[in-house]
Amino acid sequence: MRRIFAAVLVAVVSCLASPAARAAGNHALRVGSDISYAPLEFYAQGSRHARGFDLDLIRAVAGKMGRPVTIVNHDFSTLLSAVQQGRLDLGISAITDTRARERQVNFVDYLLVGTGMLVPRGNPHHVFNLGGLCGLTVDLQAGTSQQAAVRAQSKECRSVGLGPVHILAFPTDVAAFKAFAAGRSDVHLSDYPVVAYLALTVGHGKRYEVVGRQFSVAPYGIAVAKNRPALLAAVRRALQGVIADGTYDRLLKKWGLVQAALRSVPINAGPLFER
């Protein structure tokens, strides 16, 4: 998924809590996030108020812990090292939990995300899974897991005598969606949260819809330093509380992410989804 490789340069705020406050465990949790990826974390147009599912969730988790929270806009490429070094308490930024990343930090997993398929409302081509793409034109960002999956599916289509999937690949996801909006493709493929947000917001939610089940899924995780097991356990308990009291479901519905629900709260489950 694109977020595995993304590194958008943004302003970094750096201000450490005192050792005494940290030891007391009552200072504001400093949570790093690259606030550039709607609907997970982003700034509303014309505003510097940080919004999104991730930020709503971490505020709810901090509330369960009885801790205030400070959101720090941080470069994605160095977010895990900042958590590892103790400059941030936590990291939440659509971070895919992978085996490689687990060598740096631990993850409290909270969302299961893969690729989603966006089509015009009414689903005129009756697409419900990858097999339904045979003979159609799809758009996507070049070099992504979506492109690899569709290439493999196109071979499957040919092997059973169906038309191949015609792929329009673009340098950015934004450019790919523009082609779809202009009618150049039948299906727009991107990370599930992205297409879910487009379906929710474009044309007041009446122009497009997400169809079928997302595929090539992997968990997103809240990053915690490996030398802070008490914090890891506290975040996990708090997230379990947020799920139990219905807040998690309300946030999923608010941001159009119901299909990405992860009902359990595993630690470091990412490698289970890697091939």
According to the model, what pLDDT value does residue 275 have? 73
Report the b/e string of 190-207 with b at 16+ CB within 10 A: bbbbbbbbbbbeeeeeee
Question: 247: domain CATH number?
Answer: 3.40.190.10
Report the b/e string of 24-47 with b at 16+ CB within 10 A: eeebebbbbbbbbbbbbbbeeeee
Local confidence pLDDT in tens for the 275 residues of the chain:
545 434 332 333 333 333 333 433 568 999 999 998 999 999 988 888 899 999 999 999 999 999 999 999 999 999 999 999 999 999 999 999 999 999 999 999 999 999 999 999 999 999 999 999 999 999 999 988 899 999 999 999 999 999 999 999 999 999 999 999 999 999 999 999 999 999 999 999 999 999 999 999 999 999 999 999 999 999 999 999 999 999 999 999 999 999 999 999 999 999 999 87
Domain count, the chain: 2
According to the model, what pLDDT value does residue 59 have? 98
pLDDT tens digits along 138-165: 999 998 889 999 999 999 999 999 999 9
Same domain, 23 and 53: yes
Same domain, 96 and 120: no
In a domain, 135, yes or no: yes
pLDDT tens digits along 85-118: 999 999 999 999 999 999 999 999 999 999 999 9
What is the distance between the alpha carbons of residues 50 and 36, in angstroms, rounded to a whole number?
A: 9
Phi, psi of 269 (to 5 degrees): -85, -5
262 in Cβ contact with 248 (< 8 Å) = no
Q: Which position has the token pair 């629900």?
A: 261
In a domain, 9, yes or no: yes
Same domain, 6 and 83: yes
User: In terms of C-beta density within 10 A (0-12 exposed, 13-18 middle, 19 or more buried), how is residue 162 classed?
Assistant: middle
According to the model, what pLDDT value does residue 223 have? 98
In a domain, 170, yes or no: yes
According to the model, what pLDDT value does residue 25 have? 55
According to the model, what pLDDT value does residue 26 have? 67
In a domain, 274, yes or no: no
Same domain, 109 and 27: yes
Give pTM, 2 decimals: 0.85
Residue span of the structural domain in which 169 resides? 114-216
What is the distance between the alpha carbons of residues 18 and 115, in angstroms, rounded to a whole number?
A: 42
Same domain, 127 and 195: yes
What is the distance between the alpha carbons of residues 207 and 237, in angstroms, rounded to a whole number?
A: 40
What is the distance between the alpha carbons of residues 252 and 249, in angstroms, rounded to a whole number?
A: 5
